[in-house]
């Protein structure tokens, strides 16, 4: 669900007309609904109330500091994957004791930073990383709390680029090696095993892969605790899917119920790392029609946003609903909606039926709150677009539009060529 909808023939975000934001800030622009984020977070949180748990919002899904601050105000922790995300989380005031650090390629510097900050735990993804974690902890004289990320080899039945829990993926440590690693860490004076972790993929639309992974984790958990290693945290990662088109993902309540049922005898504190399900449907990308173009075989609507602003359709062939900002009764036409970038993969929709649009009309690309702005780039020297947060009848610019000067600032021409 979300708080975007038509009132008197025009699209509103909560109580603010989308057109009003565009009049002030131009296009393209990302617009997020605070009430949608609050609602999603609360529904997710409430579903896990029967058990001890920490919700560590996955910062990578949308890392604007204003969004992180909103989530912190609701009690969220953070799942981070870099030193940069750590700094964002801290800037938003997130309690370090609610931060978990995932990712296959943590640098020593990032590990040091996180350890001195006193985060809750490191989700370690390889045996070498565990060794390095031990060394850094020794150097700092501060034991490192960690979980190992298991690769449970389950198929999340999602796009191959966002599957992470299969044997062939780079993520996690194979089941067979995990127990050995805990044994080794047990006697290390600076390694403190406190949890077990898995994340199997993203945009998962059925419960069974989660259950399969949990089943494997339970076995490993029992094996580890039988060695006298006391674990407290069971981190189940993120991955719950949302509706982009006609998917039927489980409700957070159903997802939680299945997990709680399966996990309750472990007496663990659950850690959940939802990203998309919190912010995905809480954001739209608004773009303006630049041109209509008709070739022999196809009709194109060329808009002012490009794959550099929202890469999901190009990258994962992802479907995003696209609607007009002004409700239209015009006859429907089948078009490709494409951006201005010099790549054939620069499209938002192919063979999509939409009401006929003209130059200057505004379109809203829906469900762009997760993995939207965060994956944007400056390709074709395009300044990144502003982000706006709507709360009730007010709206706030939470990131200004970049300028060409911003883009050029870090570049230097050697004197040789001046």
Binding ligand LLP (rule: CB under 6 A), the pick from 11, 37, 61, 354 is: 61
CB closer to ligand LLP, 118 vs 160? 160
**Residues near ligand LLP (CB under 6 A), total:** 22
Annotation marks residue 342 as catalytic: yes
Q: Does 53 bind ligand LLP (CB under 6 A)?
A: no
The site map against ligand LLP for 147-166 (x = CB under 6 A) is ---------------x----
The site map against ligand LLP for 279-318 (x = CB under 6 A) is ---------------------------------x---x--
**Taking CB under 6 A as the criterion, which residues in 223-242 touch ligand LLP?**
237-240
Question: Is position 239 annotated in a ligand binding site?
Answer: yes
Which of 9, 189, 297, 342 is labelled catalytic? 342
Q: Are 100 and 271 in contact (CB under 8 A)?
A: yes
Stretch that binds ligand LLP, among 70-78, 209-217, 272-280, 356-364 (CB under 6 A): 272-280
Q: Does 76 bind ligand LLP (CB under 6 A)?
A: no
**Nearest approach, Cβ of 112 to ligand LLP (angstroms)?**
21
Question: Is position 275 annotated in a ligand binding site?
Answer: yes
**Taking CB under 6 A as the criterion, which residues in 190-229 touch ligand LLP?**
199, 202-203
The site map against ligand LLP for 363-392 (x = CB under 6 A) is -------xx---------------------
Residues that bind ligand LLP (CB under 6 A): 58, 60-61, 79, 102, 162, 199, 202-203, 237-240, 273-277, 312, 316, 370-371
- The residues that are catalytic are 342
Pick out the residues of the known binding site for substrate: 276, 312, 316, 343, 371
């Amino acid at each position: 669900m979300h708080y975007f909808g038509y009132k008197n023939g025009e699209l509103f975000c909560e109580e603010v007309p989308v057109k009003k934001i565009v009049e002030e800030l131009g296009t393209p622009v990302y617009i997020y609904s605070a009430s949608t984020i609050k609602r999603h977070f609360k529904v997710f949180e409430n579903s896990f109330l029967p058990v001890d748990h920490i919700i560590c919002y996955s910062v990578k899904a949308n890392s604007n500091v204003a969004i992180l601050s909103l989530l912190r105000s609701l009690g969220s922790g953070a799942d981070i994957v870099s030193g940069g995300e750590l700094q964002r989380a801290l800037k938003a005031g997130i309690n370090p004791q609610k931060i978990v650090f995932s990712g296959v390629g943590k640098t020593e510097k990032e590990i040091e930073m996180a350890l001195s900050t006193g985060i809750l735990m490191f989700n370690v993804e390889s045996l070498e990383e565990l060794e390095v974690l031990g060394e850094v902890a020794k150097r700092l004289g501060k034991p490192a709390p960690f979980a190992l990320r298991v690769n449970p080899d389950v198929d999340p039945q999602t796009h191959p680029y966002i599957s992470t829990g299969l044997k062939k993926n780079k993520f996690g440590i194979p089941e067979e090696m995990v127990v050995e690693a805990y044994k080794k860490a047990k006697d290390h004076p600076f390694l403190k095993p406190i949890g077990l972790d898995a994340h199997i993929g993203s945009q998962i639309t059925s419960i069974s892969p989660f259950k399969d992974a949990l089943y494997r984790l339970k076995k490993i958990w029992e094996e580890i605790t039988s060695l006298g290693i006391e674990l407290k945290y069971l981190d189940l990662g993120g991955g719950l899917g949302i509706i982009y088109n006609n998917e039927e993902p489980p409700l957070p309540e159903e997802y939680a119920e299945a997990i709680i049922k399966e996990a309750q005898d472990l007496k663990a504190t659950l850690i959940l790392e939802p990203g998309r399900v919190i912010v995905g449907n809480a954001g739209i990308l608004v773009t303006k029609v630049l041109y209509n173009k008709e070739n022999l075989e196809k009709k194109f609507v060329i808009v002012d946003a490009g794959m550099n602003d929202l890469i999901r359709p190009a990258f994962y062939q992802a479907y995003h609903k696209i609607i007009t900002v002004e409700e239209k009764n015009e006859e429907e036409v089948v078009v490709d909606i494409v951006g201005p970038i010099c790549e054939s993969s620069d499209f938002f929709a192919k063979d999509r039926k939409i009401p006929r649009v003209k130059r200057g009309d505004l379109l809203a690309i829906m469900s762009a709150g997760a993995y939207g702005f965060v994956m944007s780039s400056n390709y074709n020297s395009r300044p990144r677009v502003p982000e706006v947060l709507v709360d009730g009848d007010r709206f706030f610019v939470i990131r200004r539009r970049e300028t060409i000067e911003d883009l050029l600032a870090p570049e230097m021409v050697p004197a040789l060529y001046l």
